[in-house]
Structure 1
Amino acid sequence: MKKKKNLRILLIVICACVFWVGYQLLKGNGTETDIEQGVKHPNVVIIYADDLGYGDISAYGVGKLNTPNIDRIATEGIRFGNGYATSATCTPSRYSLLTGQYPWRNAKAQVLSGDAPFLIDTEQPTLPKILKNAGYRTAVVGKWHLGMGDGYVDWNETIKLNPNAIGFDYSYVMAATNDRVPNVYVENGDVVGLDKTDSLKVSYKKNFEGEPTGKANPELLKVMYSHGHDMSINNGISRIGYQKGGKSAQWIDENMADTFLVRAQQFVKQRSDNPFFLFYALHQPHVPRVPHPRFVGTTGMGPRGDVIAEADWCVGEFLKTLEQEGLMENTLIVFSSDNGPVLDDGYLDESAEKVGDHTPAGPLRGGKYSLYDAGTRVPFMVMWKDKIKPGVSNTIISQVDLVASLSKLTGQTVPQTDSEDMLDVLLGHSQKGRESVVVEGLYHRTAFRKGDWILIPAYEGTKKVSWGVDNETGFGYDTQLYNITDDIAQRNDLAKQMPEKVNELMEEFRIILDDN
């Protein structure tokens, strides 16, 4: 009798252990059973600026602009000093953030025209798909610049290949950039506010008969171009490319920040039992810089400074909405930029003349388009109220790592890509970041950082951007080697002094490049 009783007790203990282990496994894997049992993942918001430099955010302590709302993310979360975009230009960086793949692995991942075909393969894993699989509602609001359609876009009909094709439930975007046609918003594949009796036509080859251009009609401009942006005119600003018709749908640049902010706020206010993922892609401080009148003259640095102040206000208003909706405590917020800074990027907006002693790149060398560090080393910060302990991290991390890290956070299978699981780093549980990272400048040319060393191979090409931008490319006939612990400004090239180090890094670099 005693043996039977002991056996029953043993069986009960074994069953309890099996149940507990099984529950923990389900909890860790983020399956549908997990969601059904009420284990809730945090909301995720990525706020992505456009052409914002390492020195443009006051939390980094190296520039002269004041950005109190963006600073809040840094001071209440973790500010990364070695956070990288994958590319010094916009389309490639956005491609990497959403796919977890280095952009130089895809020859088409270059700066796209406004009528370029959809860039991301709809069959490949993407961040919105992964989070949607974990039960998330997903949305993108703001700049897209990853292509639309399959090679020909009829802007007057629903565009089937739009952001929703890679996992977004809702999209409200500009097709490309604010300096490229078409100058319209696209919501879930449809041009917003389009009058079908005034059909919209777009071309990047030739102008439409009778349509004015900045080059031929400078008297119609309120913002004068400096180079390249001299084609179709909308809202007194000439752009890259040609468009005709669709007048009722064309945006007003001064209202763009408010337009995107309202859509982002509306999305997070939707009530649901499911968590949400929002990719809030700001257009500032990309050219043309046309701030709302509320911000004109507020910084003394001209339109570039003023649109950064406008972007900071947008971030503040968005954070207020999260608080008002009771969402802040369960929302992970990532803030970063797609590439480094540039002053004159096509318009005579006095950005260079009025920058004063502000340093958009901080102590770093280069900027947008550049293989030097300021091209890809950008503001990078993460906040999760009461979950992430405030601090500063100098570990190396890349935006490409968000795919693996957020997959891990939500219990999803981590795809086999260039993305590395940096979840513990993002949450402040570890200082062990990447050992190395590959970054890209113009024309898919790449540089390699490992630890404190940066290797830039020899590349033919001009030392300055060839079309009039006053930024260095990083190209040269000789390989360059820098130790950024002692030389953060990359002025002391050690390649000739340390050929063995060059060879060691080059060998590791080639292994990564060859694995394509």
Structure 2
Amino acid sequence: MKILNMFNYVFTIVLTLTIFDQVNAQEKKPNIVLIYVDDLGYGDLGINGAIGVKTPNVDKLAANGINFTDAHAAAATCTPSRYSLLTGQYAFRNKAAIIDGDAPLIIDTEMRTLPDMLKDAGYTTGVVGKWHLGLGDGNVNWNDVVKPGPKEVGFDYSFLIPATGDRVPTVFMENQKVVGLEPADPIKVSYNLQLDGYPIGTERPELLKQHTDSQHLGSITNGISRIGYMSGGQSALWVDEKIPFVLTEKAKDFIEVNKANPFFLFFSLHDIHQPRIANVKFVEASQMGPRGDVIAQMDWCVGEVMKKLLDLGISEDTLIIFTSDNGPILDDGYLDYARELVGAHKPGGIYKGSKYSVFEAGTRMPTIVSWPKIVKPGTSNALLSQVDIYASLASLVGVKLSKVDAPDSQNLIDAWLGKSTKGRTILLEEAYAFGLRMGNYKYIMPKVNATIPEWLIKKFVDPGFSSKAQLFDLKADPSEEYNIAHLHPDLVNKMQKELNSILAGRK
């Protein structure tokens, strides 16, 4: 009898521990890696039909996860998209636009951001790569710790390109301080006055590795002329060809240091933004010249992060979201013959438009979600926006948002994880015009002044401007060739009312 009781006692303990372990495993929060590529078009991946370049690592990520066919950036340009991603708020509400490299931080430090929310859930948070959301308070001293910045909006660790590769200052910043700066050679930056520092593109064109338009003819560093002027900081200057290696190593270091506990890594690549300066390892890796080569370079960076997660034994417990900040652009100022060498490749896939454009390719992004333990491989046509990542991840990690948090973000976690194909019923597309998706219908709001500015013409961009309402049935006409607004006046009015409601802040 005593033996039987002892057996029952041991059995009960074992069963209790087993159940506890199972519940604990279910409640364990995944690591989250958000890989944010720059200027990558929907059609720029092998999985989406790329021609002339191979992306084996990203394709593998898609093969083991979900490839989304109708997921969107919140805007067709970088700063607005990044703002919306991190705040859960449409960029137009804060008049967020592409900013200079010396602009102040555009995120209100009183707002709770995506990394703030994840910190509340016990995550260690880090950002590595392109920032372009402003730094400081408008009077930046680049020779000291620059505040406010990533730390003040929720990131425990940061290693940044302060703005973009085509803007000064051309230095890395770690935890908001310039890396490798010599005190005797202080940095100065100006976007208004020419500084006595580095050669200027207008004066020394013979020094340039790539010729460029008039916008980028400021200070020359590493053979590239940039937007803006800079002096000092010689020991801290980056080498463009080494940027992908530096950023990838920092991303891997962050993963290594934080492998034991849940972490959030915002890995914001510079590729494939201009200037497209491929490392020799990737020169002629494609048939499309520098733009194709840096797509291959980007793919390598993604592969290195995937390999690191696998080597550490945490890939099964890591949610990876791979996407881009806005649509593709062939000619964005630097002469790298992307237009001449594109061949049969279609950067936006079957979709019309580009970066800066309200047409579909401006915001419809290559988007892949992988979480081996939870996500089943496949394809999803759910209509999704990056502005919803905030509320969706909050639901995933069990954080309840207040009414003022992420005001434009919707909890669509089931769609992001492939458990449902039900996404948004209405989706805003923000460019230099406003578009609205409602199912397969796409509406573009008329502009009072529909004249295309010269700077967009020079970039061969069709921004989608019209003084008349535009309506497209994307199921029948995915390339937005046939305006059917005159055939559906009631639908046009309905969609304009929905758009008015969003713009007025009622949705």
- Normalised to the residue count of structure 2, the TM-score between the two structures is 0.92
* Equivalent position of 1:377 in the other structure: 364
The answer as to whether partners of 1:158 and 1:189 remain within 8 angstroms in 2 is yes
Shift of 1:428: 1.4
Pick the aligned partner of 1:43 from 9, 19, 31: 31
Partner Cα distance (2:393, 2:106) in 1: 22
Matched, 1:466 2:455: yes
* Equivalent position of 2:391 in the other structure: 404
* Equivalent position of 1:160 in the other structure: 147
The answer as to whether partners of 1:465 and 1:472 remain within 8 angstroms in 2 is no
Superposed CA RMSD: 1.8
User: Percent of aligned pairs with the same residue?
Assistant: 48
Describe how 1:29-40 pairs up with structure 2 within 5 A.
39-40=27-28
* Equivalent position of 1:71 in the other structure: 59
Pick the aligned partner of 1:511 from 496, 501, 505: 501
Partner Cα distance (1:223, 1:466) in 2: 19
Partner Cα distance (1:273, 1:457) in 2: 49
Partner Cα distance (1:56, 1:369) in 2: 17
Structure 1 residues 162, 271: closer, same or farther in 2, change over 3 A? closer
Shift of 1:38: 10
Partner Cα distance (1:206, 1:356) in 2: 41
* Equivalent position of 2:465 in the other structure: 475
* Equivalent position of 1:302 in the other structure: 289
* Equivalent position of 1:335 in the other structure: 322
Partner Cα distance (1:114, 1:84) in 2: 26
The answer as to whether partners of 2:53 and 2:287 remain within 8 angstroms in 1 is no
Pick the aligned partner of 2:40 from 52, 69, 72: 52
Partner Cα distance (1:179, 1:210) in 2: 17
* Equivalent position of 2:91 in the other structure: 103
SS at match of 1:294: coil
The answer as to whether partners of 1:92 and 1:111 remain within 8 angstroms in 2 is yes
SS at match of 1:313: helix
Partner Cα distance (1:389, 1:229) in 2: 45
* Equivalent position of 1:91 in the other structure: 79
* Equivalent position of 1:15 in the other structure: none
Partner Cα distance (1:447, 1:51) in 2: 20
Instruction: Single out whichever of 218-227 and 133-142 deviates more from structure 2.
Output: 218-227
Shift of 1:64: 4.2
Shift of 1:347: 0.5
CA-to-aligned-CA distance 1:267-309 (integer Å, 9 cap, x gap): 0011554200000001111000001100011102111000010
Shift of 1:415: 4.4
Describe how 1:116-131 pairs up with structure 2 within 5 A.
116-131=103-118
Partner Cα distance (1:183, 1:506) in 2: 43
SS at match of 1:414: coil
Pick the aligned partner of 2:240 from 247, 253, 272: 253
The answer as to whether partners of 1:254 and 1:292 remain within 8 angstroms in 2 is yes
Pick the aligned partner of 1:359 from 346, 352, 371: 346
Pick the aligned partner of 2:298 from 303, 311, 314: 311
CA-to-aligned-CA distance 1:306-348 (integer Å, 9 cap, x gap): 0010000110111000000011010000000000000010111
Letter in 1 for 2:475: T
Partner Cα distance (2:502, 2:203) in 1: 48
The answer as to whether partners of 2:198 and 2:221 remain within 8 angstroms in 1 is no
CA-to-aligned-CA distance 1:458-512 (integer Å, 9 cap, x gap): 1123347635111111111111100100000000000122222211111122112
Instruction: Single out whichever of 265-274 and 41-50 deviates more from structure 2.
Output: 265-274
* Equivalent position of 1:201 in the other structure: 188
Partner Cα distance (2:286, 2:109) in 1: 43
SS at match of 1:55: helix
The answer as to whether partners of 1:464 and 1:473 remain within 8 angstroms in 2 is no
The answer as to whether partners of 1:458 and 1:477 remain within 8 angstroms in 2 is yes
Describe how 1:267-278 pairs up with structure 2 within 5 A.
267-271=254-258, 273-278=260-265
The answer as to whether partners of 1:400 and 1:419 remain within 8 angstroms in 2 is yes
CA-to-aligned-CA distance 1:202-234 (integer Å, 9 cap, x gap): 000011136421111101111111341111000
Shift of 1:376: 0.4
The answer as to whether partners of 1:455 and 1:481 remain within 8 angstroms in 2 is yes
* Equivalent position of 1:446 in the other structure: 434
* Equivalent position of 2:215 in the other structure: 228
Instruction: Single out whichever of 267-276 and 159-168 deviates more from structure 2.
Output: 267-276
Partner Cα distance (2:84, 2:215) in 1: 27
The answer as to whether partners of 1:125 and 1:415 remain within 8 angstroms in 2 is no
Structure 1 residues 47, 282: closer, same or farther in 2, change over 3 A? same
Matched, 1:169 2:159: no
- Aligned residue pairs total 482
Shift of 1:73: 1.7
* Equivalent position of 2:275 in the other structure: 288
CA-to-aligned-CA distance 1:429-457 (integer Å, 9 cap, x gap): 11111001111112xx3111111111111
Shift of 1:358: 0.6
The answer as to whether partners of 2:197 and 2:230 remain within 8 angstroms in 1 is no
